[in-house]
Structure 1
Amino acid sequence: MKFKTIFYIIVMTLSIATQSSEKQLPPCPSSPNCVSSQAAATDADHFITPFKITGNVEAAWAALKKALLSQSRTVITNETGDTLHAQATSLVFRFVDDIDTILDAEAKLIQIRSASRVGYSDFGVNRKRVELLRSQLQQAHVIE
């Protein structure tokens, strides 16, 4: 009985230790209506550079939330200590885009993904959204 218990504890410990502790954004679909900082750097349609934090991590995270909320028709729908999910709704057709972010405090990075829920092309809206956020955070002097 003791052997089974010890064996079980060892197996569970090893399985937990081998799981990646690094959080991942959902992958982009093959359609060009998504950008992600965790897409392959060779994927020009989907890759966008993550936000490199220059100062205080908490200040950068707070500035990101403020910048997101300053965008029209954008609401934060879910937030944990190091993840954030927001939704942006288009004005005319009411299409919803999802914005997901992960704070990697150790690496001083904010990983980001912006994607349309429906359709094929977004006419560059998601890339423009992320670049606008980048610009706002640069003006706040919290990222490079």
Structure 2
Amino acid sequence: MKIVVLIIAALLILGVGFFVVLSIKSRTGTALGLVDGMLAPCPASPNCVLSEAHSDDDHRIEPLPLSVWAKLPDILSKEGGVVVKITDDYIASEFSTSLMKYVDDVEFRKAEDVVHVRSASRVGHSDLGANRERIDALRTKLGQ
């Protein structure tokens, strides 16, 4: 019986350790930025949404209207994000989960007629829809 308890305890410690390492790893990266003038493609994993034309159906999300561009930094901050970079046509922000502090990158690219958006987890496979929900919430806050 003691051996079973020890094995279970060891597995729990390893499991928690794995998630702690992922959390630390997510805090060491940065947003991918623009790639050939566009937001980076989403990985195959379901933890990313993207409005650019090169997005596949599983990751696609609608872009934002151009009229929201000037409001984005303020709204991102109010919603718990940290704006880490702003240029004339690009905004990068970071959002952290409350418990484990996993970081998601939320990026925007100002195009001629819309604002393209990419929201992606830095680590892990699934985000349980958190990135899509975040963009939908931002869209609501922006009145769109």
TM-score higher than 0.5 here? yes
The aligned residue for residue 32 of structure 1 is 46
For normalisation by structure 2, the TM-score amounts to 0.70
Question: Displacement of 1:39 after TM fit?
Answer: 5.2
Q: Secondary structure at the match of 1:135?
A: helix
The aligned residue for residue 12 of structure 1 is none
Asked if structure 2 preserves the Cα contact closer than 8 Å seen for 1:28 and 1:39, the reply is: no
Q: Secondary structure at the match of 1:111?
A: strand
Where does structure 1 lack aligned partners over 5 or more consecutive residues?
Answer: 1-21, 139-143
The aligned residue for residue 99 of structure 1 is 106
Kindly provide the CA deviation profile for residues 27-85 of structure 1, in whole angstroms up to 9, marking residues without a partner as x.
Answer: 100000000001546x33200000123xxx4xx2221111111112x100011111000
Where does structure 2 lack aligned partners over 5 or more consecutive residues?
Answer: 1-35
Letter in 2 for 1:116: S
The aligned residue for residue 74 of structure 2 is 66
Letter in 2 for 1:52: P
Question: Displacement of 1:136 after TM fit?
Answer: 1.2
1-structure distance, mates of 2:110, 2:115: 5
2-structure distance, mates of 1:132, 1:36: 15
The aligned residue for residue 75 of structure 1 is 82
Question: Displacement of 1:23 after TM fit?
Answer: 2.2
Aligned pair count?
109
The aligned residue for residue 52 of structure 1 is 65
- Percent of matched pairs sharing the same residue: 39
2-structure distance, mates of 1:36, 1:122: 14
The aligned residue for residue 18 of structure 1 is none
1-structure distance, mates of 2:109, 2:73: 12
Would you identify which runs of 4 or more consecutive aligned residues in structure 1 move more than 6 Å?
none
For normalisation by structure 1, the TM-score amounts to 0.70
